[in-house]
Amino acid sequence: MKIKFGLSVSQEERSVLTRILVIFLAVLWGVAILTPGVVAAKNVVEENAALLSTFAIAEYAHLRAGDPIPLDVEYTEQKPINVWGMQTNSPWLTTWVKKIVPAFGYEKVCAVPKYPRSIGFTPNPGYRSFHIAGFARPFLADAWLNERFLIDGRWNDARDALATLTHELIHLQGGGYIVGEPEEFENRTQAATVETLAAMCNYGEETACRAFWQEYEGYTRIVFRLMLEDAGHGDWYNRIANLLWRDSMDERAAEKASRFWAEDPDQLDYIYRAYYLGPWKIIQDGVLLDVPQDTGIMNWTTLGEIYKLQMPFDDTGVLLRPVRLLLWWSR
């Protein structure tokens, strides 16, 4: 496998790390200045090491993810075409499917990768149009992405579309990606999505690199938000996000989403902890402790011995190597 980001730090990456270090040290300096006594300052820093480290990782991932990649693709809407036995309304999807599905077998996401019978963009009804990026139906072997990726400027981003496509294709592989409680198989699916994107990135797919960092940024930012809320400083998240991670349009969209979820904050908290904190912990254990993910899929050796397939997080570990120390501090 070709490694895109090697052991050495590129000039671009070095400038990113410098910015992270400056911000990180500035925060520590601020804590020390505002806290009376050196010992007290040291205690405050130690108590908040996980919070500060998670913030620094989120900022690093945000910078590596870069700007949105415009998604300008052929779209036949309700007039599907056949591509190698797959029904689709966008050849962009099938082109990526032919890259993603083989990676599943190579990266031990599953034993025998399965291609979809149908793959396409579709409009979602009601609130699902604004909150559901994609869905899969394993019993029909089809997967669908929200049409908003093509018709809504706020959604138009090849990074997010690629991550969503990868996620839904993993559901089609069965096993632990569709069995159990929703938060359980979604956690496995999202963790496998990150590892697959990392693998394609290390193989040389630049869009996959950007998609990987956008996905990891999303998980880390939500974990940072939960840490602030648990510490009683939840209102600080939007202030920090507006300053560093959002433009004016993002701010308005975030405010609107907050009004939508105001009627059911417990459900939003459940979504954050079940679908973001969960995979973030799986990925951390995989990278730092070499704990593979149980795919729930059976495989067999050349001698006919049956075993349960385990997916390692080696490619994710390669991409996160520059912030490995921060990962340890964020635990």
| 89-135 pLDDT tens trace | 999 999 999 999 999 999 999 999 999 999 999 999 888 888 899 99
Residue 85, Ramachandran bin (φ over 0: left; ψ between -120 and 50: alpha; else beta): left
How far is 323 from 21, CA to CA, in rounded Å?
A: 11
Structural domains of the chain in order of their starting residue, each with its CATH number: 11-68+211-329 (no CATH), 81-203 (1.10.390.10)
- How far, in Å, CA of 315 to CA of 304, rounded? 29
In 3D, which of 292, 296, 222, 223 has the Cα closest to residue 257? Answer: 222
pLDDT for 16 beyond 70: no
- Mean pLDDT along residues 218-242: 92
pLDDT score of 262: 87
Mean pLDDT (whole number) for 262-272: 87
If pLDDT is split at 50, 70 and 90, which confidence band does 136 have? very high
pLDDT of residue 243: 85
How confident is the model at residue 3, as a pLDDT?
A: 22
Task: Compute the C-alpha angle 64/192/257, nearest 5°.
Answer: 65
pLDDT recorded at residue 20: 63
Give DSSP secondary structure letters for 159-217: HHHHHHHHHHHHHTT-GGGTSS-HHHHHHHHHHHHHHHHHHHHHHT-HHHHHHHHHHHH
* CB 245 within 8 Å of CB 238: no
3-state secondary structure of 134: strand
Contact 125, 148 (CB under 8 A): no
Q: What φ, ψ does residue 86 adopt, rounded to 5°?
A: -105, 130
